[in-house]
Copies of this chain bind each other. A is one copy, B any other.
Amino acid sequence: MTRDSLEEDLEPPPGTTPAVILVEPQLAENIGMTARAMANFGLSELRLVNPKNGWPKKGVREAASGATHVLDRATVYPTVEAALADLTFVLATTARERGQMKRVFSPEDGMAALAGQPGRRAGVMFGRERVGLSNDEVSLADAIITFPVSPDFPSLNLAQAVLLVGYEWRRASGRASLPFTGEMLSPPATRGALVALFGTLEAVLDGAGFYPPEKRGGMVRNMRDMLHRMAMTEQDVRTFQGALRAVTRAMKPPKTDGE
């Protein structure tokens, strides 16, 4: 889609959406893909705690695939505590049990809990690519989010985890409208229009000698059922009628006794 000003339309502003906190992320590609995933679902506040090998990283903008507004605004912190200092509700993502007496949410329920407290400055923490968050880091959070992954292959990529949180945030905050819908461009066909179509079709097939006379009744009913399952619109019926008219014109004239 084309917008006059991308900057103007960025929705919603930072400070009203959860911050995404990446703790010691290593790969430029994951940070870039995180920015892209955030932008996909309207998140814009990225916080990086002590990124491995410094910041900015080479290749991160390419991986963000245009979500550079998220990268440009990203803030870097020396410690997790500093990155969380101004937040009032913090969720930690983790793939494994920590033996901590915290609520454990699915992404859906975690984002619902967060969306249910609109006055709070919230953030979601994501750990290092290989080893996740430490127990002490998890201990800084109000609650945990974990993902409903297959036990056979539970290892989610960092940006994929961010994507699921962003997706569920968008849904929980009531912004998950689809870019387009399947609304029919034409209203449903009336029963009268359908019955007229049945008549045209059956006349064509009669003219073509399709129905064995003794089976005609059942075959007609079966074919009407097929047509009902199409749930045709007015336009569909007009198109179908037009096709049948063309076929009728192209058919040889029916044999009569006179020939």
Residues on B with beta carbons closer than 8 Å to the beta carbon of A164: 163-164, 167
Query: Within A119-169, which residues are at the interface with B (CB < 8 Å)?
Result: 143-144, 146-157, 159-160, 163-164, 167
In Å, the complex CA distance between A103 and B183 comes to 8
Interface centre among A42, A102, A178, A186 (most CB of B within 10 A): A178
- Report A144 CB to chain B, min CB distance, Å: 7
Q: Closest B-chain residue to A235, C-beta based?
A: B101
In Å, the complex CA distance between A3 and B42 comes to 38
Counted per complex, copies of this chain come to: 2
Residues on B with beta carbons closer than 8 Å to the beta carbon of A6: 152
Among the listed stretches A32-40, A72-80, A192-200, which one makes contact with chain B, having 4 or more residues with CB under 8 Å of it? Answer: A32-40
Binding site for B on A (CB under 8 A): 1, 3, 6, 9-11, 33, 36-37, 39-42, 65-67, 95-97, 99, 101-106, 143-144, 146-157, 159-160, 163-164, 167, 170-171, 175-182, 184-186, 233, 236
